[in-house]
């Protein structure tokens, strides 16, 4: 949303479709406050992946990364309190 609002052409199209594009300053402020509570290495990983993909965090469905559809090892599912990334595309995965 922030990326869309910062692009004038995209923001104009979104407003034409009825999406409000105000309040971006508040969203940026909230994002800054939230990032203070995230481990730096996780935040760096997120930012690095966001340079290549719009969807950074994706679900695993039927043992497939829904970002690139690569098979995800089932052993990843049982790693508690860890951030799991797709070995193929690097996106952050969550299990449903």
- Total domains, the chain: 1
pLDDT digits (tens, 9 = 90+) for 49-70: 999 998 999 999 999 999 999 9
Encoding tokens for residue 57? 């965090």
Encoding tokens for residue 86? 């797709």
How would you list the strands of the sheet with 64-65, edge to edge?
Answer: 64-65, 57-61, 92-95, 84-85
The segments of the chain whose pLDDT lies below 70 read 1-2, 4-5, 76-80
- Establish if 66 belongs to a structural domain: yes
pLDDT of residue 77: 65
- Establish if 19 belongs to a structural domain: no
pLDDT of residue 78: 62
Encoding tokens for residue 18? 């009825």
pLDDT of residue 25: 81
Domain hosting 81: range is 54-96
- Establish if 85 belongs to a structural domain: yes
């Amino acid at each position: 949303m922030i990326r869309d609002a910062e692009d004038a052409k995209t923001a104009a199209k979104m407003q034409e479709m009825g999406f409000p594009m105000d309040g971006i300053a508040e969203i940026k402020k909230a994002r800054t406050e939230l990032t203070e509570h995230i481990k730096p290495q996780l935040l760096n990983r997120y930012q690095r992946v966001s340079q290549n993909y719009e969807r950074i965090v994706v679900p695993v469905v039927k043992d497939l990364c829904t970002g690139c559809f690569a098979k995800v090892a089932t052993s990843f599912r049982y790693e508690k309190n860890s951030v799991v990334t797709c070995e193929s595309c690097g996106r952050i995965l969550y299990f449903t």
